[in-house]
Structure 1
Amino acid sequence: MRLGLLTACLPGESLDDIAGWASGHGYDALEVAAWPDRPGRDWEASHLDVEHFDHAEAARVRALFDGLGLGLSAIAYYENNLHQDPAVREATHDHLRRCIDAAALLGVGLVGTFVGRDVSLTVAENMRLAEKVLPPLVSYAAERGVRLVIENCPMEGWHPDGYPANLAYSPELWGWLADLGLWLNYDPSHLVWQGIDPVAALDDHVDRVLHVQAKDVELDPWARNRYGVFGRVIDKQEWVSGWWRYRIPGLGEVDWRRVVDTLHQAGYDGVVSVEHEDPVWSGSLERVQQGLTIAQRTLSPYVQI
């Protein structure tokens, strides 16, 4: 098992600089963000230009990682593959295919994404939609030696009322994902605030886990008693529930000793990739890097053994 980080927390830094820092600060691998480079969306990291990726750039990236002793665990493009606008949905699928192509050139077997949701439809209707539009993407990946791993984030901010907008939020749906040929990028933080034991959920589905994201979550039970599990309604802020927030591993509720031990017992030998979304350790390059250092110190005794 190796410890990695998702590069999305450093959208303003180059892949070369991130790789150099990670290698010097106890990390073994990178999960590389590859969102499109779009004006006005500076928070989206584009550390691989997959739209123009070719053999020469693949060779350069491989040489960079090999020279630093780093692995490349996955290419990351977490977007709504069931978006209600057909044009947006198709553009998302097209970029996902470019991510798959880049992964194939790099010899990386995994691309991370979301199922998503058409928020104008019910969950049942979305499942039928997914059964039509996702299998061709799974096949496209398989033909190139790549598998799609789905993060179990609810993406409640995509829904106008804060309800789950990514059909992987519940372990009830993970068998359905398997039937579609999709795999899990397991993140325990999303389960905790839903009231789900992340260790029990992992134990039941660990055979479908090909990648792991390490993020923690801090709960405020008093605020939950006021707002309920779906969060604040009056004076609601986008992506802010009012009673929980994501934290760096070790600063929240997740029992990382038990999570990683469950992975070890199941024979998992992939990457545990830190996903830094902690508002406390954000705001500058130095604070983000300090947060990543805290995560490395927390997880390395369990992962890097």
Structure 2
Amino acid sequence: MELEVTDLEFPVGGWSTAPHCDAAALLDDSSLLAEFTDAVTARGLRICAINANGNQLHPVTGADDDQTLRRAVELAERVGASTVVCMSGLPEGAKGDRTPNWVTTAWPPETQEILSYQWNDVALPYWRELAEYGEARGVRFGIEMHGNQLVYNARTMARLRAEIGDGVGANLDTSHPMWQGADPRDVVDVLGGSIYHVHAKDLRLVPRVVGSHGVLDTTDITRPRDRAWNFVTLGSGHPGGAPFWGQLLSDLRMNGYDGVISIEHEDLVMDAVEGVRHTVELLDHVMPREAASWKPADI
């Protein structure tokens, strides 16, 4: 089946089992790495990013995820991919805690103490060093703004970037702003040129659940009928359908993004191949492919 996909993003560990890419083995064996890259290029494809989504700031297991993330940086350098997709990580709430703590409100007062510790004592020192590690290898980090992470929206992304610099930018997974009540098009406008990667994924709110319980939902994702929101195939969720996605792609281009639109399929009620095909077909109708006819000097 020909879908005219041009690029691939490979996960190498963390929360992924990494079934297609054993980063440690590839880095240890140059012939195996050559075989891997040849298998990609022989199909007319490119490697656009390496993905290492885990919690490298976890007080107990963070060291393992940090090792995975650094291995992803090394692999990205070797295969010529300039972007590693990851998450910010989420630390404990206080030194000595054994579990991460996601603060989502400004009150009671201890929330501010927790946030100060997480940002100033843990996350910023870590990211300053990691950004230097990536820069030395020609790699930047596209951070996915995800729930239960220290960076989960445009404001927290901008804060990290202001502290760390150009070595970090956003991986815009379009579904995550949606369940938080934000509009990905507005997120693009706020973040502008600091978007380094994009995951195309739709989301569907379940009004009968949201109306009673709100959008903060800890119901297991394997029970989609009972949840306030679910990840769905593009066109099955966010109101507006194809016009919405066309506007989003136009906004990305207006803000200088000319990178890959990476499809992330997590629709539990649809076959994965079918879902990817539907997504490609929708994007194919609305994606600008050619350079704009008008140039700044013409306007």
- In structure 1, runs of 5+ residues without a counterpart are 1-20, 155-164, 282-286
State the secondary structure of the residue aligned to 2:235.
coil
* CA displacement, residues 232-260 of structure 1 (integer Å, 9 cap, x when unaligned): 6xxx4367672100011111106211110
Letter in 2 for 1:153: H
Could you tell me whether the CA contact under 8 Å between 1:191 and 1:198 is conserved in 2? yes
Q: Identify the residue that residue 264 of structure 2 maps to in structure 1.
A: 275
How far apart are 1:67 and its partner, in Å? 1.7
Match runs of 1:58-207 below 5 Å: 58-85=33-60, 88-121=61-94, 122-128=114-120, 129-154=122-147, 165-178=148-161, 179-180=163-164, 181-207=167-193
How far apart are 1:26 and its partner, in Å? 2.0
Letter in 2 for 1:265: M
Could you tell me whether the CA contact under 8 Å between 1:84 and 1:120 is conserved in 2? no
* CA displacement, residues 158-178 of structure 1 (integer Å, 9 cap, x when unaligned): xxxxxxx21221211121221
How far apart are 1:56 and its partner, in Å? 2.3
How far apart are 1:119 and its partner, in Å? 4.5
Distance 1:267 1:135 in 2: 25
* CA displacement, residues 175-234 of structure 1 (integer Å, 9 cap, x when unaligned): 1221223111111211111111211111111210111000000012221121122126xx
State the secondary structure of the residue aligned to 1:75.
strand
Pair 1:250–1:48, CA change in 2 (3 A): same
Distance 2:56 2:36 in 1: 27
Distance 1:63 1:101 in 2: 18
Could you tell me whether the CA contact under 8 Å between 1:215 and 1:248 is conserved in 2? yes
How far apart are 1:76 and its partner, in Å? 0.7
How far apart are 1:118 and its partner, in Å? 2.3
Name the larger-Rg structure.
Answer: 2
1:300 partnered with 2:284 = yes
Match runs of 1:219-298 below 5 Å: 219-231=205-217, 236-237=219-220, 242-253=227-238, 255-281=244-270, 287-298=271-282
Seq. identity, % = 27
Counting matched residue pairs gives 258
Using structure 2 for the length normalisation, give the TM-score. 0.80
How far apart are 1:70 and its partner, in Å? 1.0
Distance 2:128 2:67 in 1: 14
Give the number of the structure with larger relative contact order, counting CA–CA contacts within 8 Å between residues 6 or more apart. 1
Distance 2:84 2:18 in 1: 15
State the secondary structure of the residue aligned to 1:68.
coil
Could you tell me whether the CA contact under 8 Å between 2:222 and 2:268 is conserved in 1? no
- In structure 2, runs of 5+ residues without a counterpart are 95-113, 290-299
How far apart are 1:53 and its partner, in Å? 1.8
* CA displacement, residues 246-305 of structure 1 (integer Å, 9 cap, x when unaligned): 011111106211110101222321100011111111xxxxx2111111111111222363
Using structure 1 for the length normalisation, give the TM-score. 0.79
Deviates more, 1:102-111 or 1:59-68: 59-68
Output the aligned Cα RMSD. 2.0
Q: Identify the residue that residue 7 of structure 2 maps to in structure 1.
A: 29
